[in-house]
Structure 1
Amino acid sequence: MSDEEAYADHYLRVTVDLIVEVGEVNALQAAALADLRAQDLDAQERQDQIDQINSDPSGASALRWLISPDDVLALVDRIDEVQPVEAILEISESDGVLELEDED
């Protein structure tokens, strides 16, 4: 069996840590609410999302609404040799910027 055959249907996990700085939480929430109102949702689901965005002082819920798993899959969309399979999106508060470990 060749190396190429050995890696047929081979899956790789891509992990990306992205820290964003939110300049204005209210503006981020307003953008999420505007996008939310443009979506075709039933009234209860829309209200649940509005309540979640409005009650989150960090802005994470607003950003979570604005970034979909499809956006994450698009990271590799331009690469013909790679077929995106699934994406899980998690957004949480951070203590600040990432600190890289020194490589000695």
Structure 2
Amino acid sequence: MSNRTDTERFLRVTLELVVEVTDTASLRETALADLRLRQPELAEFEEQHDQITADETGASALRWLISPEAVLGLVDRIEEIDPVEAMLEISESEGLLEPIDE
């Protein structure tokens, strides 16, 4: 483990990804199936279930399906770094990052 006070050793990696939800209902069903499979405690199950089913955009479903461990897994194969923390935020987008040339 590195010296946590040596801030020059830390790099922040920012990734911006825009996805198109082509079937919100199926995305929610996939998230609900995964929720049932993971079997969290009843209070968490009810909270997540309510969030997933009430969200018309699919953001809550996607948030449930992408775990912070998966984000950290992006750098697992790099031996020269030690992943310290990950934060995941999913929100509605105003469109594509850049226009697609046709």
TM-score (norm 2): 0.86
RMSD: 1.7
Deviation at 1:8, TM superposition (A): 9.2
Partner of 2:80: 81
Structure 2 unaligned segments of length 5 or more: list them: 1-5
Structure 1 unaligned segments of length 5 or more: list them: 1-6
How many positions carry a matched residue from both structures?
Answer: 94
Partner of 1:4: none
What secondary structure is seen at the aligned counterpart in 2 of 1:38?
A: helix
Aligned pairs (5 A) from 1:45-84:
45-84=44-83
Deviation at 1:40, TM superposition (A): 2.8
What secondary structure is seen at the aligned counterpart in 2 of 1:44?
A: helix
Bigger radius of gyration among the two: 1
Matched, 1:27 2:30: no
Partner of 2:3: none
TM-score (norm 1): 0.84
The change in CA–CA distance for 1:64 and 1:8 in structure 2 (over 3 A counts) is closer
What secondary structure is seen at the aligned counterpart in 1 of 2:38?
A: coil
What secondary structure is seen at the aligned counterpart in 1 of 2:96?
A: coil
After TM superposition, what 4+ stretches of structure 1 lie above 2 angstroms from structure 2?
Answer: none
What secondary structure is seen at the aligned counterpart in 2 of 1:99?
A: coil
Q: How far, CA to CA, are the matches of 1:23 and 1:46 in structure 2?
A: 26
Amino acid at match of 1:28: L
Matched, 1:90 2:86: no
Deviation at 1:42, TM superposition (A): 1.5
Deviation at 1:9, TM superposition (A): 6.9
